């Protein structure tokens, strides 16, 4: 349709268009660079003896289509991670680097007992000695502490000391009180341990408390899946960063990571949507900061390019 058809001079049309552009909400472009998925599980029920519902080709396809170029792989049992690590040709073709972690769980019963179960410590030692086809294990976890006091369990304390000594990162789904206890169990009292805090406090530790912990422990990193209060809905589409979280990410741009947390198969179904959501709120940040959180921080932590 031409402007003449509306009976208005061309300059009026241009003025109206200009005002419309100025008045439109400023929606930054989505982040378009590489992603480092710092919290990924390839659990038994996803592959079921390799037949599915999510065999290797399926999960690698989801990563590739999402622009995920590296993953922290940790799986119950560790066979899932070993399978990802062994698929050298397939992962290379998909452009995905595998960073293997030793999961502390052989089965669901281990969730509630690992921190005092000596056989878990032995299993970790055996896995570390065995390594993976993608190279040595780079970390321990994910593990959970539903009661933070269990961070004082004998096996939990031994594993934290071991992680610091062997320069293994730790992926911990715990509350803020447990962060202090786990850090206290290391020889450096938390000054050297690299601890990825799964969800950065899934119970919603206040931003000021997260800030204080980041200041206290130089190796503490926050992984942002499921973090309550991170994004706020607005009228213009999907979630955008809430102001106090945006400020925290800008204060510590080198300390945050994103992750899928594919803890149940449903998370695999929505993997691509999840990564698209991350790209949306990452676009609310200055491009250099978005890239740090999306990729650089994980790549630096594990020496990838
Ligand atoms: Zn998880």
Spatial distance between the Cα atoms of 201 and 226, rounded to a whole number of angstroms: 9
In this prediction, residue 50 has a pLDDT band, given cuts at 50, 70 and 90, of low
Spatial distance between the Cα atoms of 200 and 203, rounded to a whole number of angstroms: 9
Distance from Cα 234 to the centre of ligand 1, integer Å: 28
Q: Is residue 8 predicted with pLDDT exceeding 60?
A: no
Q: Is residue 6 predicted with pLDDT exceeding 60?
A: no
Distance from Cα 267 to the centre of ligand 1, integer Å: 11
Return the pLDDT at 24.
46
pLDDT digits (tens, 9 = 90+) for 81-116: 999 999 999 999 999 999 999 999 988 889 999 999
Return the pLDDT at 273.
96
In this prediction, residue 130 has a pLDDT band, given cuts at 50, 70 and 90, of very high
Give the chain's end-to-end CA distance (angstroms, integer). 51
Distance from Cα 112 to the centre of ligand 1, integer Å: 15
pLDDT digits (tens, 9 = 90+) for 202-247: 999 999 999 999 999 999 999 999 999 999 986 655 679 999 999 9
Please give the model's pTM, rounded to 2 decimal places. Answer: 0.90
Spatial distance between the Cα atoms of 140 and 7, rounded to a whole number of angstroms: 70
Distance from Cα 40 to the centre of ligand 1, integer Å: 7
Return the pLDDT at 237.
57
Return the pLDDT at 48.
83
Distance from Cα 37 to the centre of ligand 1, integer Å: 12
Distance from Cα 56 to the centre of ligand 1, integer Å: 19
Spatial distance between the Cα atoms of 108 and 45, rounded to a whole number of angstroms: 12
Distance from Cα 246 to the centre of ligand 1, integer Å: 24
pLDDT digits (tens, 9 = 90+) for 150-205: 999 999 999 999 999 999 999 999 999 999 999 999 999 999 999 999 999 999 99
Spatial distance between the Cα atoms of 38 and 260, rounded to a whole number of angstroms: 8
Spatial distance between the Cα atoms of 144 and 198, rounded to a whole number of angstroms: 9
pLDDT digits (tens, 9 = 90+) for 54-83: 999 999 999 999 999 999 999 999 999 999
Torsion of CA 19, 20, 22, 25, to 10 degrees: 160
Distance from Cα 6 to the centre of ligand 1, integer Å: 58
In this prediction, residue 1 has a pLDDT band, given cuts at 50, 70 and 90, of very low
Distance from Cα 11 to the centre of ligand 1, integer Å: 57
| Six token digits for residue 250 | 């800008």
Distance from Cα 41 to the centre of ligand 1, integer Å: 7
Distance from Cα 142 to the centre of ligand 1, integer Å: 6
């Amino acid at each position: 349709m031409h402007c003449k058809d509306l009976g208005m001079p061309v300059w009026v049309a241009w003025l109206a268009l200009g005002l419309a552009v100025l008045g439109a909400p400023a929606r930054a472009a989505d982040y378009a660079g590489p992603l480092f998925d710092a919290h990924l599980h390839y659990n038994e029920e996803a592959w079921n003896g390799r037949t599915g519902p999510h065999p290797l080709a399926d999960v690698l396809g989801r990563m590739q289509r999402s622009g995920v170029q590296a993953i922290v792989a940790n799986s119950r049992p560790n066979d899932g991670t070993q399978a990802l690590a062994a698929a050298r040709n397939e992962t290379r073709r998909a452009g995905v680097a595998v960073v293997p972690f030793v999961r502390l769980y052989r089965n669901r019963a281990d969730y509630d007992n690992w921190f005092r179960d000596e056989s878990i410590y032995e299993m970790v030692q055996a896995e570390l000695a065995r390594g993976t086809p993608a190279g040595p294990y780079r970390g321990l976890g994910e593990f959970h502490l539903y009661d933070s006091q269990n961070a004082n369990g004998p096996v939990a304390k031994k594993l934290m000391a071991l992680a610091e000594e062997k320069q293994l990162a730790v992926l911990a789904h715990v509350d803020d009180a447990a962060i202090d206890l786990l850090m206290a169990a290391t020889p450096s009292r938390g000054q050297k341990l690299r601890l990825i805090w799964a969800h950065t406090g899934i119970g919603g530790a206040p931003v000021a408390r997260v800030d204080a912990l980041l200041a206290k422990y130089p190796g503490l990193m926050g992984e942002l899946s499921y973090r309550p209060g991170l994004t706020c809905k607005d009228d213009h589409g999907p979630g955008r960063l809430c102001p106090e979280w945006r400020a925290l990410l800008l204060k510590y741009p080198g300390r945050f990571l994103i992750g899928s947390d594919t803890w149940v198969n449903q998370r695999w179904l929505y993997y691509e949507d999840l990564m698209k959501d991350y790209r949306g709120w990452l676009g609310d940040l200055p491009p250099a900061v978005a890239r740090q959180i999306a990729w650089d921080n994980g790549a630096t932590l594990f020496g990838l390019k």
